Amino acid sequence: MSDPLLEIDSLSLGFRQGKTTRETLSRVCFQVRKGEIRCLVGESGCGKSVTGLSIPGLLPPQARLLGGRILFHGRDLTRLSEEELDAVRGKSIAMIFQDIMGSLNPVLTVGRQMTEGMRRHLGLTAREASERAVELMRKCGIPNPENTMKRFPHMLSGGQRQRVMIAMALSCSPELLIADEPTTALDVTVQLQILQLLTRLREESGMAILFITHDFGVVAEIADRVTVMYAGQCVEDAPKDVLLSAPAHPYTQALLRSVPDLRDDGKRTLYAIPGTVPQDWSRIPGCRFAPRCPYRRSACETAAVPMAAAAEGHCVRCLFPVPFGKEAAEG
């Protein structure tokens, strides 16, 4: 097997609050290989977006690295200067942000924003960059791209803005695309079109994608591998088909049971996970999901829980994994 394009190695991060630093990520580990689509899944507040933003070094100044490495082609991005990171951002690693409107400058035309990165990273002239921008927007399904180049972001629909963001992210042919819930605010038809577009572009270019989402429908559509996050930790990691059919962690099982199914006969009550994601998990000595877990035992609340192999290529952070099936679902 080839070396990973991206390796998150025991990454721990915190945010400075006054005189203290509150841990946000705790020894997060996963890899992304060339051409692979890996999904990060979990509820809001589990650390998915912080993980994504940490890779190109886009966290706010109060963020603190507490340990671990972010390796891209074996090079530790956490040790690069801001100038060195600027050479990587947009060129080798690109990002699509969750807040589409907030990510586009409202006072600059789409064309100005599309061409800026290409002129900086690829050394293209204004004309060459404009021609490439039009070609990319057409490839991303934007009608009449020449006219769109002259428009401002507020003049476009949500789906068009998202396609512009994708075209902008692809403008320098990145090796890794980080997509932070890019379809959340879109209707289901446009959402499917965006997912199909990303899958097609991956197949054409060999680009790897780290896709951050809370939607298992999206996971089923595009993922190769899935990492489930809870309270700043990775709690399960497996190929998509394995994770969807035989999840080992009670949290993953609970998330899947919360998803509506078109085959339901109307008699099934949609499951809701009790409680909420803890705000300060540093005070939890054992399993961080234990307070919400229906299968918890006394050891879960006191013992540290490491990631362990559940099967080949399938890891889980649980002392007492419960088989996923009809009995567990009804339990």
**Each residue's pLDDT tens digit, 97-145:** 877 767 889 999 999 999 998 998 999 999 999 999 999 898 888 889 9
How far is the C-alpha of 318 from the C-alpha of 249, rounded, in Å?
A: 6
pLDDT of residue 327: 38
Greater pLDDT, 247 or 99: 247
Q: What pTM was computed for the model? A: 0.90
Confidence of residue 74 (pLDDT cuts 50, 70, 90): very high
Provide the token pair at 82. 């801001």
pLDDT of residue 317: 95
Across-strand partners of 89?
Answer: 93
- What H or E segment, with its residue span, contains residue 52? helix 48-54
How far is the C-alpha of 134 from the C-alpha of 149, rounded, in Å?
A: 8
pLDDT of residue 251: 95
173-188 pLDDT tens trace: 899 999 998 877 677 7
Confidence of residue 331 (pLDDT cuts 50, 70, 90): very low
- Amino acid making up residue 206: G
- Amino acid making up residue 88: V
Q: Output the CA–CA distances (angstroms, integers) from residue 15 to 24, 60, 61, 179, 276, in the order listed.
A: 7, 9, 9, 23, 21
Least confident of 6-10, 62-66, 130-134, 185-189: 185-189
